[in-house]
Structure 1
């Protein structure tokens, strides 16, 4: 205790010592500290969508964050300038521990000279002109503060009046090019009556170049065409012409066709090709006795044929298809024009990646069962399995758990709870079906085929021992960059209860629905998942949305019906094991709004329902829903809430397997912000969050009263928690620590009012995890 108190006093002394430091005492001579924006005034504001877009760009150019900023404008700064304190206290050290502290914790002061308001005002004025506000301008002024060596800045924006597009004409192009442009006018981006915008003009020019390059004009470039503008013909409007530059080289005016293709495969150790294999116009050069990739697998990555017109889009698809094989460290496509000809020969240079890849993940878990313990996952991958461009993956995982308290309900803890699992999968970067070969285009729509078999054994101390094994086949493809479809036509799972204890038998007698969910069963299912993800778009609001539907046992039941067995018959078996029959649907949406580079507002809304019927009226335990934990409602541990208003007694021996349900609703919102940048090679971020949700049953259960879903007192049935957290972001790894604080539980606690947590310390959850919760 004395040592702990000593550490506390040392840290308090350091904090007091740092706080006594001036934030400007050791600034270089002639430099002034920038404290942020004081005011931004706007005159002649254009409130249209285009005008606001222009204003956002202008504000972005002048809104430079000062040290320890939380919000740039309005100027909100973290009250403790820790990084500046460290800078001024340790900047004089050139070596030793003081220099190490300076390098790791100091924040470089943001100077007015670095912000350079004069240049930024000019840049902002130019941005106004780019958006058609030709009369607009931006000025600035310096505002003094109490500290003579620290100032704030204010900007005055006068937008003036906007200019609009009158007409856009395409003139001076060759007849064939002119016909091509006018045949694709439906995609035109510049329209009469809209705001003049240089960005839109550049996008229209790029559209024309892309159109030409997709139709054989290999040498077409942006600088080969230009805009001519006139603002005098019609006041307030701009008349435009898009014309080719004069004296273009003859290659730019010629359409090219594709000739022969040669692929040079370099080994992962740098082995140069020594032999070749040719089939008509396609040649593979390789090292060794045979190509490192099967000829057919490689040839089908190229979607063009000899004699076809060159296309930029097909070139991109080909390179993406080669990259998706996952066997190359790099691949480069070159086009070689034949002298005095309109033919381009294709040369591809590719180098194989290392054949094996491995990964080891270690973790420590804490569960609501009062059990904690270490776990590990080891993954080993063999790239380019049997030269098919496929990946063979082996995954081994295990965890060991023991009770964190010495006794549980008077019984000493038995240290034999563990989980062991192994999975073998084979992944193809294309659709693999025995009767479908060339009918599915694997290039325009990125696709994957996933074969998997697995086995897992779970031993729960003093309760049961279960063996689960099975396999699946799934296909996924993308119609666009944002939309992904995944179909699993075959998923077979067997759950076998190998051993159960008298304690578990007593639980099963008191709660037969729980027993049936854990009993031996066969789970044959098919599923479909649709995922929308536009996070690749660099815009403020990004969205991830996934919907999944699963049907289990229905095809098997239909087969039984075909042989004269009734759909309604219970306990139909496959290989001596009853099979589950249910329908399951889940939907989860995650919006992410970027307030700024250092601030985000993240949300999640998740709903799920499972309906069991026919052969099994209780869903398998592994398929049921639960809430709580590091990625759910963080004020509570896993499976510690619900179903409904039900809550097992504190002395219940089976509460950890009891709080699951058939219906789930969950909502989360989290404000994320930067605390410290470049701290030990990463960024330290903070978070404030609010979580809510619960699970319910679809049917009445005498052993769990008030667990069935009902709209009566619906909001009182929702568990609510808040909290704060910190995240250490290393870009490739995020370490997260969250402290959840309970605000409301759906069951009776003996305390009245919405805040019904009996004691504050009873309503807390501390979670250490890897990655963001959503």
Structure 2
């Protein structure tokens, strides 16, 4: 009975919105509900017809009013809001910001749309396209129908390049084998334009600074055969002499303290510095001239090329020192076919002070706030070095679960010094548009976990960062040192740790030092692509060299201490891969897989706690409380702790997939499934079932759920509601709990539904 009532209510809502959407139309006009394109022609394949129809459908104008679940809610809101009496207030906002005015049939121009479709088809090689149109009226609604008969497409018979002996034409001939225009393929105007651009790009690399794609024309001869064309590429006769000349670099002049508020540059003899091939106009001597020798690719007498042009600009911007970067080339007055290169650089404020208040969540399911205060100097030693000192403090609380009440307080400081070059005894060169950097870090953090303990953490590192290009990034820390010392351990914590060895590991003194490396690849910035990827691989090697030199072996009792603390010796590798598949303009499928393993040896019997793996929580398995799953089939809840310890492991496997779609305005929805677990390398009598084995797939935790994402431009607020589908610590054969899902049952909801509040996407 309830189901029938729901369906009846939805039907009434649909009818009510439909009536109201046509009630307020201008007299004699109709609501335009959209157009449809049908492609009919047996001379082309079904796939070609489908592609034409899809492309043409998107070209029809105007677009009809948008729909959500088949209903024009925005139009409905526009109508019921009524005409506001003033240009502000709730009614004005509701009608013009949330609502949407009706798209009228009188706005539809049949001939205009027919010409658009015909032109598109001809640009794709269908030179004999016929288009017919009709309209259909139903009550106060009207739609349009287009019938397209494209005919057979014209294929390319020959691609003819200019045979002139002039240098410009000869330069074009050298790259004709890489042409986008292929004999036998269908004529396509977009490919013709791309070919002109390709030739122009090549000529720019050969010194033709003043040449442009508009100086090229492609003549189409359709008389050479049945449904065939010859394409003749020519340089236009009116192409100026400047565009036909090859240019080299003469003077390179840099103004590193240029103001965008004035067009005049005042130069005095004492403000000019000569450094190698560069002339630096810097009266106040703000920058060391060697910066520009490392950053700019052009040298005197170099042949002009667009690659070095763009790389130089990219590196100047990437220094992080200049607010504006302007470049200009002019013909040299004193020598023929030479260019003078001018660089006008507007510095950012050298010293800055910043205060930030942040909302944050972490993988341990804690939510809180943080205050950051930082001071920066962007040109510390006149070499564009960035020095930053920051102070931070924050509070994190767990809103639900056994750790509720054990709040975390954090405070600390960090200093970073970044040089825009590699600090090495060897000379290094980079052909990337991104400046390689050397980074040194020194930091301290005090962490207080209420009612339990506090930790003092010291960190220092020295390493290098460099990007091959926009997609590939490397970071190598030659050495990273971490020292952790506990204090103020409460009787409550010691009481629980007496029966749980894992808790003792948290408050052990730890000394970790050694190199680590990470590599990142991503093309997610290419939003037009259907498939985009993100990969990050990291490797951590701690205490290896020291362990070899000292012959440390904990199995033999030969434990070596540094500063009265046994140093950690281990190797750890982790890889994360993400795939994003675009399903439509407002929907995508996002997937992730994480694999990691760590192995302790020599001076260590097991991985240090801070370097182990964890799973569960807002950015992991969302159907399970943070760090509550694993290792393996071990059930931490069976222990009689006042609070739930964070479970950790030496091996991690996790896989996630999430369907994301825009619902309306700033609200996006998601459906997701998460699976994974952690394991130990060795047996642990305190944690039965924790060791990794060949049966690891049978020990995966699985959860599913749905959520909302509120994209507020400056942040994404995320809410997820998840529940378990498979619980690894249940007896074998009883781990799948899908059959127990019962949203109408109160006790089930209390025990199984997990609500996550977070900032940002999980991956």
TM range (shorter): 0.7 to 0.9
8 A Cα contact 2:677 2:699, kept in partner: no
Q: Separation in 2 of the partners of 1:62 and 1:128?
A: 14
Q: Separation in 2 of the partners of 1:47 and 1:633?
A: 47
Which among 689, 703, 711 is matched to residue 686 of structure 2?
Answer: 703
Counterpart in the other structure of 1:25: 23
2:636 is paired with a residue of what secondary structure?
coil
Q: Does 1:342 align with 2:342?
A: no
Q: Map 1:223-372; keep pairs closer than 5 Å.
A: 223-266=214-257, 276-279=271-274, 281-286=277-282, 289-290=284-285, 292-339=286-333, 341-355=336-350, 356=352, 358-363=354-359
Shift of 1:316: 0.6
2:128 is paired with a residue of what secondary structure?
coil
Shift of 1:54: 5.6
Q: Separation in 1 of the partners of 2:228 and 2:17?
A: 58
Q: Does 1:525 align with 2:514?
A: yes
2:22 is paired with a residue of what secondary structure?
coil
- Structure 1 window deviating more from structure 2 (197-206 vs 42-51): it is 42-51
Which among 692, 710, 713 is matched to residue 727 of structure 1?
Answer: 710
1:278 is paired with a residue of what secondary structure?
strand
Q: Separation in 1 of the partners of 2:149 and 2:156?
A: 21
**Alpha-carbon spacing, 1:718–1:112, altered in 2? closer, same or farther (3 Å):** farther
Q: Separation in 2 of the partners of 1:182 and 1:114?
A: 50
Q: Does 1:384 align with 2:379?
A: yes
**Alpha-carbon spacing, 1:89–1:382, altered in 2? closer, same or farther (3 Å):** farther
Which among 733, 744, 763 is matched to residue 726 of structure 2?
Answer: 744
Counterpart in the other structure of 1:4: none
Q: Separation in 1 of the partners of 2:407 and 2:554?
A: 44
Counterpart in the other structure of 1:690: 673
Q: Map 1:221-620; keep pairs closer than 5 Å.
A: 221-266=212-257, 276-279=271-274, 281-286=277-282, 289-290=284-285, 292-339=286-333, 341-355=336-350, 356=352, 358-363=354-359, 373-401=368-396, 417-428=408-419, 430-437=420-427, 439-441=428-430, 443-444=432-433, 446-516=435-505, 518-537=507-526, 538-561=528-551, 570-620=558-608
Which among 199, 204, 215 is matched to residue 208 of structure 1?
Answer: 199
**Alpha-carbon spacing, 1:651–1:475, altered in 2? closer, same or farther (3 Å):** same
Q: Separation in 2 of the partners of 1:728 and 1:258?
A: 48
8 A Cα contact 1:526 1:552, kept in partner: yes
After superposition, give the CA deviation of every residue in 1:252-296 in whole Å (9 maximum; x if it has no partner).
Answer: 111111111222234679697665222165222235x32x32211
8 A Cα contact 1:535 1:542, kept in partner: yes
- C-alpha root-mean-square deviation of aligned residues, in Å? 3.5
**Alpha-carbon spacing, 1:79–1:199, altered in 2? closer, same or farther (3 Å):** closer
Q: Separation in 2 of the partners of 1:654 and 1:523?
A: 31
Give 5+ residue unaligned stretches, structure 1. 1-11, 70-76, 678-682
Q: Separation in 2 of the partners of 1:567 and 1:192?
A: 71
Q: Separation in 1 of the partners of 2:258 and 2:644?
A: 53
Which among 729, 736, 750 is matched to residue 761 of structure 1?
Answer: 750
8 A Cα contact 2:61 2:113, kept in partner: no
1:646 is paired with a residue of what secondary structure?
coil
**Alpha-carbon spacing, 1:480–1:264, altered in 2? closer, same or farther (3 Å):** closer
Which among 215, 218, 223 is matched to residue 209 of structure 2?
Answer: 218
After superposition, give the CA deviation of every residue in 1:314-373 in whole Å (9 maximum; x if it has no partner).
Answer: 11111111111112221111111134821111122221223326251322659868x765
Shift of 1:629: 2.3
1:314 is paired with a residue of what secondary structure?
helix
1:526 is paired with a residue of what secondary structure?
strand
1:525 is paired with a residue of what secondary structure?
strand
Q: Separation in 2 of the partners of 1:455 and 1:257?
A: 53
Q: Map 1:11-50; keep pairs closer than 5 Å.
A: 22-29=20-27, 31-36=29-34, 40=38, 43-44=41-42
Q: Does 1:127 align with 2:114?
A: no
Shift of 1:753: 5.0
Give 5+ residue unaligned stretches, structure 2. 1-9, 742-746
8 A Cα contact 1:18 1:85, kept in partner: no
Shift of 1:631: 1.8
Counterpart in the other structure of 1:8: none
- Structure 1 window deviating more from structure 2 (571-580 vs 310-319): it is 571-580
1:227 is paired with a residue of what secondary structure?
strand
1:300 is paired with a residue of what secondary structure?
helix
Counterpart in the other structure of 1:101: 94
Q: Separation in 2 of the partners of 1:492 and 1:217?
A: 53
- Structure 1 window deviating more from structure 2 (520-529 vs 739-748): it is 739-748
Shift of 1:106: 1.8
1:759 is paired with a residue of what secondary structure?
helix
**Alpha-carbon spacing, 1:602–1:176, altered in 2? closer, same or farther (3 Å):** same
Q: Separation in 2 of the partners of 1:273 and 1:232?
A: 62
Shift of 1:710: 3.1
Shift of 1:504: 3.0
Shift of 1:224: 0.9
Counterpart in the other structure of 1:5: none
1:385 is paired with a residue of what secondary structure?
coil
1:649 is paired with a residue of what secondary structure?
helix
- Structure 1 window deviating more from structure 2 (215-224 vs 485-494): it is 485-494
Shift of 1:745: 2.3
Q: Separation in 1 of the partners of 2:507 and 2:296?
A: 50
**Alpha-carbon spacing, 1:259–1:693, altered in 2? closer, same or farther (3 Å):** same
- Structure 1 window deviating more from structure 2 (313-322 vs 732-741): it is 732-741
Q: Separation in 2 of the partners of 1:697 and 1:144?
A: 70
Shift of 1:472: 1.7
**Alpha-carbon spacing, 1:345–1:746, altered in 2? closer, same or farther (3 Å):** same
**What is the TM-score when the length of structure 2 is the normalising length?**
0.87
8 A Cα contact 1:569 1:615, kept in partner: no
**What is the TM-score when the length of structure 1 is the normalising length?**
0.86
Q: Separation in 1 of the partners of 2:28 and 2:475?
A: 62
- Structure 1 window deviating more from structure 2 (319-328 vs 396-405): it is 396-405
Name the count of aligned residue pairs.
Answer: 735
